[in-house]
Structure 1
């Protein structure tokens, strides 16, 4: 999905057979804002439709790395122009301590916020650029070794592009075990080990071992600015959410798309 003005040539429309959400998700501010969608029929992979790579639980993206998010707005006042082609915004990854320092300072409505395990911040201390309302579920992707890895899922923020209030994303790496468990429990696949879904930590591992779902062609974009894993999730009675194709049969999206 590259435009909100209807499917483009090469885009696929698929029904969803199952929606899987962590048991303890309640609302975005308490974390675990992710969901797996099993497609009713597999996508046909090609130049316009490819999965993004997923990081291992032990992988650490470098603080300050320049990554990209897909969005409909790049500043609070910038409404998406016709033909509603999605925008992209470059954001810098912020370390947990640096992000918590920013969120400990009074901000909009004099609110502060306590980051929780499994959350990831990206943006700029001075504001500048950000994802915004309507962008939930869009992937935050970082390039490593010529491939694009999904570092985060757009979750929530305090306004758009505000000083000291970078965007908050669900970090994908800590949920590797949960993703594996759901995929194995829903369809035949390789014998991945199973663990609890709680965020995990560990030493850095070589990037060639980063893909959690064995996909030799994951994370390949045909050209800069083209994101063939970008998906739009249509929920009856609600506004669309975003997601990312992570294999031919699975889309990663936010839990808030379905439970709020």
Structure 2
């Protein structure tokens, strides 16, 4: 019994130390609600270099409901207003519809000792002032109220208070915010007749101070109690207390990217975790259009990129080294690269448009005219009606590629468009999604690898084969100075499943909780099933911006567009 207690204590201490280290690393990287490595950007933002940046209004959808800003300007939709506010920090949302002279929304604090604290009240349409009820009020609403009042870091605290003679009223407003709004006018609001109803009081953050040892230092400079981190509640006001969590406290849900979200976000028909696990197994989810906010409506109007869904479900099979043949439609993104000899020496992966991703060592600029891309190929010797071929129009090898170390060993091939329909589309050809965050899949995640490489006897194979491999996190210990940033390892501990010569350039495919496939890696160095030495892959998420720069981000961006 004592041994179990000691083991339990050691485990708890390990978790605490691990969490503190994770927070320390996150603090260095300054992860917040604007870090698209960790969370989705808002509809009026897009992901650039790992950060959510303001869109220009014309980049928003053109349709939607017109809205009015506090400086009495009518916008075509909510996204256009928010993108302009995001850039200039003025002209907040006031109401839906066109602007009218009688429309107004003014927020203030009453019965406070300073200008930064008090009971929250609003004056709507130049009428009587009305207080916000305590019902449904929390830190999300408090942060929005303080931002609305000109305190960009949000609230230090909030509480519910009994109305006094001054604040007693016939009705009050009950607000429900997401927490990312900049005005309480954006939040869902209902009017209540108060019956023993408490009112919402806030203390807005004014001055920074030095955090004590028992406090968490937020990226925006605020200090909060350590016990308020990783609880699904944005106490910092910039979400930095919720984006670096190995585990989450009661009442919240842990995303695989180590982000904590409120449990009410589960099954709300909106993906909040990067890999969709908050919506995965909640089969009774129902869409309720009555609860659609302007933010959600705009999100639904954004362009949808269709990728990563095979035409045929993959069943459990064996390995790529000596594995079983792939079937038609199982890997619709897999392409073969044939050189001037007519042999398949490398694979590649179709990512959309006319673009193929492969390994840099597979190709040479001087041989551009001799290469051919084969799509729909299952057998290198039996040609079927599903197969299509493309010459290559352009080869782009990463400018920092080092052929000796394989650093930055990634390349793009642009196929020549078909003259018939001026596109690179073939029957059954489906793009594989491109990951934008290195936190989407972690060590131990089971993925797939496919190719036409050698088998375990180093015999040449003519059929496309595939197998399951797991991501491994100890590769810097195995390969030491030969393992670099931007690389990933995958395989099995006994070497029974692995990539081999000829598989280079092909994809390492990882699936999210909604069974959407991503090209997590590109086969770079194959070990052919050598025990204790998994194959090395180029980690594609590290090169998202590089790929988007050449292909155009609209080709590869599934989210944050």
- TM norm structure 1: 0.61
The 5 Å alignment of 1:1-260 reads: 1-27=377-403, 29-41=405-417, 42-46=423-427, 48-73=428-453, 75-77=455-457, 79=459, 84-95=462-473, 98-104=474-480, 113-144=481-512, 145-157=514-526, 159-184=527-552, 190=554, 213-214=556-557
Distance 1:63 1:94 in 2: 5
SS for the counterpart of 1:182 is helix
Report the CA distance between 1:27 and its aligned residue: 1.0
Confirm or deny: 8 A CA contact 1:65 1:93 kept in the other structure: yes
Report the CA distance between 1:24 and its aligned residue: 1.4
Distance 2:386 2:551 in 1: 26
For the aligned residues, what is the CA RMSD? 2.3
Distance 1:28 1:152 in 2: 19
Distance 1:58 1:168 in 2: 16
Distance 2:407 2:535 in 1: 14
Query: Which has the greater radius of gyration?
Result: 2
Q: Unaligned 5+ residue runs, structure 1?
A: 105-112, 191-211, 217-260
Higher relative contact order structure (alpha carbons within 8 Å, sequence separation ≥ 6): 1
Distance 1:172 1:49 in 2: 21
Number of corresponding residues: 177
Distance 1:122 1:28 in 2: 21
Distance 1:5 1:30 in 2: 31
Confirm or deny: 8 A CA contact 1:55 1:176 kept in the other structure: yes
- TM norm structure 2: 0.30
1:71-116 deviations in whole A, cap 9, x for unaligned? Answer: 23574216356xx221101111112xx1222335xxxxxxxx5310
**Where is the helix percentage greater, Structure 1 or Structure 2?**
2
Report the CA distance between 1:5 and its aligned residue: 1.4
